[in-house]
Amino acid sequence: MSYAQIDLRDKPALEQLFASTKFNAVIHFAGLKAVGESVEKPFMYYNNNIIGTITLLEVMAAHGCKRLVFSSSATVYGWPNEVPCTEEFPLSAANPYGRTKLFIEEICRDIYRSDSEWKIILLRYFNPVGAHPSGYIGEDPRGIPNNLMPFVQQVAVGRRPSLNVFGTDYSTKDGTGVRNYIHVVDLADGHIAALNKLSNPSIGCEVYNLGTGKGTSVLEMVAALEKASGKKIPLVMAGRRPGDSEIVYASTEKAERELNWRASYGIEEMCRDQWNWASKNPYGYGSPDSTA
C-alpha cells in the first residue's frame, strides 16, 4: 500500500500513477462541498469537481480500470416533494455544488451507455456525522462550519457561543428542519458493500442511497449531542437558511436489497462518537491559533 497526493486535474501525474500500479477499482471521494462557497465561486466548483472527475475517468479508461464508486449526494433530489426519497425520484440541483454532483452522475451514466465494460456505483450520501469510535479520525472543517453537527460540536467545546437554528416554522414535528443523519462508519461500510457489488457481472451503472431511513430534527440532534456531551448548547432561533429543504430522508430499501447493507448506528452512537472525537480534539487537527 502506498500513498500519493495528486490533484485529479493533473493528468500527467495521474497517468504516471495508473501506469505504475494496477488498480481494480477506484473510490472517488475528492471534491469541494460547501454550498455557499459554490454559489460565490462556481468556476472553482466546476473546475475542481467536474474537470477532476473527467480527468480521472479518462485516465481510468486508458488504463483499463473501469470500476468506480462515486460520492454523490442527496442534494441531487433538490427539494423533494415527498419522503422518503427513492432512487427513482426526479433529480434537480439548487446550487453549483449540487449541480456538480448531478452532472457527474449524468456523465457516469453516459460513459456507461457508451461502454458497457464500465461498472459504476453512485452513492447518494444523506447527512454523514459522527467520527471514528477511536476518537482519532473526525471532521475538521476550515473556518465557520456550514453543516449542523460540526457547528454544534464547536459550541460544545466552547469555540462558539451558540448555534443558530435555521428555521423554526417548518411543518415538521418541532418546526425545525428534518434530515437523515448517518454515522460515518456506516457510510464507510456502504462503500465496502458497493465495492463488493462491483464484482457482480450484472452490474452496470447503479445508484444507491446511503442513509438510515430515519428523519431527525435540528432540535432532536442538539438534544442528543447535549446528552452525549453533558454540555448545554445555547440556541438562537433564526430565520430559514435560503435554499434549505424542509424534510429530507432516504428510502434505504434498494441499498438493503441489492447491496446487502444497512446502517447499524443510531443518533445516540453518532453523538457519542462525535463527542469522543471533539473532546479529545477540541481544535480538530489544528491548535487554538490555527483555527478561525
Residue 82 CB, shortest distance to ligand UDP, in Å, is 17
Distance CA 211, CA 31 (A): 20
Q: Which stretch binds ligand UDP (CB under 6 A): 58-66, 94-102, 142-150, 205-213?
A: 142-150
Residue 218 found at the interface with ligand UDP (CB under 6 A): yes
Q: Is 225 helix (H, G, I), strand (E, B) or coil?
A: helix
Residue 166 found at the interface with ligand UDP (CB under 6 A): yes
Residue 78 CB, shortest distance to ligand UDP, in Å, is 12
Q: Which amino acid is at 102?
A: L
List of residues 6+ apart from 227 with CB closer than 8 A:
268, 271
How far CA 14 is from CA of 28, 70, 103, 228, 246, in Å, comes to 13, 17, 22, 43, 41
Cell numbers that stand for 50 in this block: 467536474
Residues facing residue 217 across a β-bridge: 178
8 A C-beta contact, residue 155 and residue 236? no
Residue 182 found at the interface with ligand UDP (CB under 6 A): no
Which one among 147, 168, 279, 291 touches ligand UDP, defined by CB under 6 A? 147
Residue 168 found at the interface with ligand UDP (CB under 6 A): no
Distance CA 176, CA 169 (A): 7
Q: By C-beta, is 52 or 167 nearer to ligand UDP?
A: 167
Which one among 47, 164, 168, 279 touches ligand UDP, defined by CB under 6 A? 164
Residue 132 found at the interface with ligand UDP (CB under 6 A): no
Q: By C-beta, is 179 or 191 nearer to ligand UDP?
A: 179
Which residues 225-284 are close enough to bind ligand UDP by CB under 6 A?
241, 244
